[in-house]
Amino acid sequence: MEKFVAFVCLLGFALSVVVDFRPYDHSAELLFNGSDFNHDGIFSRDELEQEFKKYDADGDGRVSRHEYTTYVTTTTPELHDFAHALYDDYDVTGDHHLDHVDYDQYYAKLDADVDGSVTRAEFVDYWVKLFQATEHLHGHGHHG
């Protein structure tokens, strides 16, 4: 089975089929499966770092808003607004750069029970709520 290697790959895949992430728990689990590279049921801090490295086009160790949104909209222009909302969620420090400080704090947001690791359930729960809260940005009904 083909693995999804990045959040945006999943987003692109989903959209190439239909512009709809529902059911959200299914999309969230697909994201988890594509992000849990070693398949141990945990989305580790290292795995998070691996994800974001893919967006760092100029390799300076930080992901700018432009780098991230370009990465997403190149494959799926319909996700322009959603990509910006996701970036705002990742950019915990709000300085328009994603770096290790954001990754630490974002990881902590996912880690609901604060035990230092993000389980499948924690990850899926977080993303279902995010899909719900941003529904107006990746809405359905945009067929074709």
Residue ranges in contact with ligand NAG by CB under 6 A: 26, 29-30, 33
Spatial separation of the C-alpha atoms in residues 23 and 27, rounded to whole Å: 7
**From the CB of residue 32, how many other CB atoms can be counted at a distance below 10 Å?**
23
Picking from 44, 37, 38, 42, the residue whose alpha carbon sits closest to that of residue 6 is 37
Q: Are 37 and 47 in contact (CB under 8 A)?
A: yes
DSSP annotation of 107 reads H
Candidates 93, 100, 105, 129; binder of Ca ion (CB under 5 A) is 93
SS3 state at 117: coil
How far, in Å, CA of 62 to CA of 75, rounded?
A: 21
Q: Is residue 102 within the footprint of Ca ion (CB under 5 A)? A: yes
Number of residues lying near Ca ion (CB under 5 A): 13
Q: Per rule CB under 5 A, is residue 88 in the interface with Ca ion?
A: no
Compare residues 19 and 30 and give the one whose CB is closer to ligand NAG: 30
Give the one entry of ligand NAG, Ca ion, none that residue 30 binds, where binding means its C-beta sits below a cut-off of 5 to 8 angstroms depending on kind.
Answer: ligand NAG
Q: Which is closer to ligand NAG, CB of 26 or CB of 96?
A: 26
Residue 49 binds which entry of Ca ion, ligand NAG, none, CB below 5-8 Å type-dependent:
none
State which of positions 13-52 bind Ca ion (CB under 5 A): 36, 38, 40, 42, 44
